Structure 1
Amino acid sequence: MPAKEPLHPQTRRHLVNSDRLRCSAIKEFALYGLTGAKVSNIVANAELTQPSFYRVWPSKEAAYHDIIENTAETWYSAAASMFHQDVAWTAENLLERIEYGINTLFTALTENMDLTTLVIRHQLNNPAERDTYLAIYDQGFDDLQQDGIIGQDIPSEVLAQAYLALTERFFVARLLNGQGSPLAVSREVAPLMVGILNSATSG
């Protein structure tokens, strides 16, 4: 396998500066929101200049939406990963799969709490974006019902609402306050959700 060519120093410097600006922008937006954030603060905290900022984003608004959209896509992928792994779902591994899915999502959500605060605040004010999670869960539980893994007594849309409500509630009550690890909290939530899924199976 041929060795990768080293990055040009200018390219490497641009990547490093972009990362510093992104980290600084996340903190600024998390503290002050889009309206209150200032490009001057972002570049000062990154120890860079305003031209550096505008080489990455054309405006403050573009920076905000770029950060929000990229993070949301990562979270949506984490949410969907529960239903798209190589391990097949069975009635026997239901608890394991649910725990895996919750832990994957919680791990993504706790990677950068400034970023999480920013994106959650944005999504709470934009219900349509939160509906993406419901669509992912609705489709996933519907597929499980069609495959006979879980019963059909409870509509997949209701299961999706229950899953979203449980994961949101425990995230806010535990992880947002630093009480417990993603895995530990996942182990609290998973049995509750499995109980609901099992109740969807007729006698």
Structure 2
Amino acid sequence: MMFINKRIDMIARFYLIYLAIILLVSCGQDGRKQALADREKALEKREQDIASIEQDYQTLLKMRDSLRATESTASEGDTTSIHEPWPDSVLGEWNSRMVCRASRCANYVVGDQRHEVWRFYSDSVGSYVQVVNNDEHIRIFEGQQNGNEIILNILPDTNMTKSSVARRVQLDDITSGVMRGTLVLTGKNNCETVFSVELTPRAK
């Protein structure tokens, strides 16, 4: 009988130890599961924070690009509207004396002379030179001054002679009361004629 009681007591202790081990293992697993769940929540929150930061970054990039586009458009508008008017020393009417110095065109001979009136004026769009001969409008040049040099290019629609000759003037010797340079005419088959140009103020 005593042996049986001891046996029962041993079995009971064994089951108690076994239950204790199971409880400990179960608690450990529950703890690990909770830790994993907490870690997953933390990772999910971090991913949400990163996504929010990325969205803010993209929004800032769009704002920057929009501002740059606006500034670029405004800058282009300003550039097209700005021009340098003729200085007071150039404005007004000038008598021109032109002498043919070289020619590969049949219509012009070396030594030929031309006398015209050139009127320098500016408006809100640009700076120009109106050419008049015998009180009749002939053509208009569009011009620009860079330092001590003036470049004139003819406006095709203003050429009253209906000539297809291209004309370009370079005045690179500008002093008080006199402007000198060259007029280059390019005609049919790209033939060229060069005139020397001398401008003096017209008496008022």
Asked whether the two chains share a fold, i.e. TM above 0.5, the reply is: no
Query: Higher relative contact order at CA 8 Å, sep ≥6: structure 1 or structure 2?
Result: 1
Shorter-chain-normalised TM-score: which range? under 0.3
More helix by share: 1
User: Normalising by structure 1, what TM-score?
Assistant: 0.23
Which has the greater radius of gyration?
2
User: Normalising by structure 2, what TM-score?
Assistant: 0.23
More strand by share: 2
